[in-house]
Each structure stands twice: as C-alpha cells, then as structure tokens.
Amino acid sequence: MKIVESPHEAYAHADHWRREGLSIGLVPTMGALHAGHFSLVRRSTQECDVTAASIFVNPTQFSPEEDLSRYPRTLEDDLAGLRELGCGLVFVPQPQQVYPEGFSTYVSPPATAKPLEGRFRPDHFRGVTTVVIKLFQILPASIAYFGQKDFQQLAVIKKMVEDLNVPIRVVSCATIREEDGLALSSRNRYLSAEERERALCLSRALNQVHSLVSQGLSQVAQLEHEMHRILKPATDSIDYATIVDRETLDPMVEIDRPAVALIAAHVGKTRLIDNRLIGE
Ligand code: PAF
C-alpha cells in the first residue's frame, strides 16, 4: 500500500493506473476510521480494480467554534485497517499541501446545502465541497464512495458532481450501526457510557417514524412531534428532527413521495447526526 503526502505524487499514481485501464475507487475520509469507513473500502475493492483512500481532517469544514484540534486522529490504526483491506494508495496530505499560502478559490455549494446542517454550520458545506472537488482532481477516480450516514453531505456532493460535470460516479453506502442501533461515527468515542446510552434515542426516534409511516401515518407534523417526544428527555438539545423530500431536501407536509427523516442533536458535548429513508 502506497502512502503519499504530495498531491502531485498521488495524481501520478492515479494517472498511471488510468493509463493502464484500471478503474479506481476513491474513499475520502477524515481518518479515525471505523467499520463504516471500512465498509466503503470493502465495497470499492469489490467494484474497482484499485482503491485509493484519503485521510485529511479538512480545516475549512470546521467553524471557529468547532474544535478542529480535538478531532480524533488515529493514523497508525487507520493505515493498518486500510492495508488489511487491500487499499492500494492512501493520500495523507498536510494542511498546507491542500491549502497552500494564498489559497482563495472555493466552491459555492448547491441549494441543498442551505437547510439542516447549513443552518447550524453555515460554511460547513463550502469546505466539504471545496475539499472534495480537490480530492477528485488529485485522485481522478471512476467511483467515489460516501456513507449515507451523512445524508445531506451525499446529496450536496451528488448535486455538485452533476452541476459541474465531474466525471466521477458517486455511490451511497448504507449506514453501519452497532447492534443496539447506534450509527457508527468517529465522534461516538467522545460519549461517556451514560451518554452513549442516551444517544440511542436518535435511532429509536427514526425507527419509530419508520414504523408509524409503515402503519399508514403520513402527516409530517405528527411524525416530527413524535421524534421530538422521544429525543427531548434523552438529549441535551435538538438542532433539528425533521422529515424532508429525499431529492431536494425541501420541507414536506405529507409523506406522499420518497422522504428522509433526519436528526441532529447534542448528547453531552457531542453533536450527533443520523437519518433514515422513509416512504419508499
Ligand atoms: O465525511 C467526511 O469524512 C468528510 O466530510 C469528507 C467527505 C472526507 C470531506 O472532508
């Protein structure tokens, strides 16, 4: 497995593979890898000739209030896991290699970036789309794999790829959960045992909405009320617990088309997100 820091070197490897006619799968990450990330890598190794991953804690997607320096970094374990899965290349740049002195060009993200996370983390998707388009240039893959756990991120990246004619297929992979339902996240390691127990209310609320919809309940206001009822006693604050159109992320009144229920809530000092597709 090649480990490269330099964008030029990473591109040279990808270019060589492409000239050899090999398909490249790309798994962009911020490290602190868990079974969710490894499922993306596994899928890429099954579907593509070679797999490249990136590990970069992207400063431009963190706001000044969010503690970038506190983000977990577990590089040695990450590399060992990727090596074991047969990853061919890992791009691990330093911040100044991605954002050199004088860097000033950013992507203006699509409308789907405005609601939900966009309301609470205003410049987050500007940073995400900018780094993702850079990664797509540095490692021009055939397919890029992202987890459905970050549902809005996926929607924003898919739209950017469509709008900017980026010749990469974006594939969404199912959220990986612990046996008790907790969605895997690098941030789960911040939770104390007591907070982890409370954090289960996110998947419980989403499951409840899913089962109510299966039973025929379709009024979004009622469903959202139910999510809040479950979340309120167990969380410290709720940023949103809502149901939106799965394509546009616009608010809905009734579940009359494919939708997604999304939650962002704080448990202790940790902000957790989760979602579930409904109304298939
Ligand atoms: O989902 C993530 O880990 C990050 O937002 C991404 C896509 C790697 C961009 O920094």
What are the structural domains, with CATH classification, of the chain? 2-173 (3.40.50.620), 186-275 (3.30.1300.10)
On whether the CB atoms of residues 173 and 17 are closer than 8 A, the answer is: no
Asked about 37 being catalytic, the answer comes back as yes
| Strand-strand pairing, 169-173 and 237-245 | unpaired
Find the radius of gyration of the CA atoms of the chain: 19
User: Is residue 156 within 6 Å of ligand 1 at its C-beta?
Assistant: no
DSSP 8: H
pLDDT in tens for each of the 280 residues of the chain?
999 999 999 999 999 999 999 999 999 999 999 999 999 999 999 999 999 999 999 999 999 988 899 999 999 999 999 999 999 999 999 999 999 999 999 999 999 999 999 999 999 999 999 999 999 999 999 999 999 999 999 999 999 999 999 999 999 999 999 999 999 999 999 999 999 999 999 999 999 999 999 999 999 999 999 999 999 999 999 999 999 999 999 999 999 999 999 999 999 999 999 999 998 7
**Residue partners of 198: CB distance under 8 A and separation at least 6:** 234, 235, 267
Q: How many whole angstroms from 127 Cα to the centroid of ligand 1?
A: 9
**pTM, entire model:** 0.97
Q: Which residue has the CA at smallest separation from atom 3 of ligand 1?
A: 29
- Catalytic residue selected from 13, 16, 37, 210: 37
